[in-house]
Amino acid sequence: MQERIVLITGGSTGLGYTAASRLKKMGYHVYITSRQAAKAAAAAKELAVSYVALDVTDEASIEQAAETIKKQEGRIDILINNAGIPGGYGQPAEIDAAIMRNVYDTNVFGLVSVTHAFLPLLEQSEFPVIVNVSSGLGSFGQVLNPDKIESKVNALAYSSSKAAVSMLTVQYAKSLPNMKINAVDPGPTKTGENFSNGMQTVEQGSDAIVKLATIDEKGPTGGFFNRDGVIPW
Q: What is the pLDDT of residues 30-81, one digit of tens each?
A: 999 999 999 999 999 999 999 999 999 999 999 999 999 999 999 999 999 9
pTM, entire model: 0.94
- pLDDT (tens digit per residue) in 77-136: 999 999 999 886 788 899 999 999 999 999 999 999 999 999 999 999 999 999 999 999
Give the per-residue pLDDT at 29.
98
Q: What does the pLDDT read at residue 2?
A: 80
Alpha helices, DSSP H only, in the chain?
Answer: 14-25, 37-47, 59-72, 97-104, 110-122, 140-143, 156-175, 202-205, 207-213
Instruction: Say yes or no to pLDDT of 193 above 60.
Output: no
Query: Do residues 233 and 224 touch, judged by C-beta distance below 8 A?
Result: yes
Spot the catalytic one: 17, 28, 158, 172.
Answer: 158
> Which 3 state secondary structure label does DSSP give 2?
coil
C-alpha to C-alpha distance for 82 and 124, rounded to whole angstroms: 22
Average pLDDT, the chain: 93
Cβ within 8 Å of residue 171, ≥6 positions away? none
- The amino acid that residue 87 corresponds to is G
The question of whether 162 is a catalytic residue gets the answer: yes
Q: Is 158 a catalytic residue?
A: yes
CB 122 within 8 A of CB 130: yes
Percent of the chain at pLDDT > 70 equals 94
How many whole angstroms separate alpha carbon 216 and alpha carbon 1? 11
Whether the CB-CB separation of 209 and 131 falls below 8 Å is answered with yes
Which residue of the set 162, 172, 211, 218 is catalytic? 162
